Amino acid sequence: MAKPPAAPDQPSSYESAQQELEQLVACMETGQLPLDDLLQAYQRGAFLISFCKTKLDSIEQQIKILEDGQLKAWKPTT
């Protein structure tokens, strides 16, 4: 019976995730990774991007702005 894949290691911070992602991209761009390693790097990269996006979304929700003397939640312009 096949073992389910292990949960990926959580980065300790946004900055560490970003640094790991940059290292993965640099390694992948060399073109020297075997196919299986390339797939693992891609999957890890996708996980790190999702982690960073979640962190940024969370922080965005916490940012407050002062508008006309009132503290209000920041709403991004789209």
Fill in the amino acid letter for 15: E
**pLDDT tens digits, one per residue of 14-47:** 999 999 999 999 999 998 999 999 999 999 999 9
Residues paired with 73 in a beta bridge: 64
State residue 27 phi and psi, 5-degree precision: -65, -40
pTM of the model: 0.73
Beta strand spans in 1-78 (E): 64-67, 70-73
Domain ranges across the chain: 14-73
Please state which CATH number belongs to domain 14-73: 1.10.287
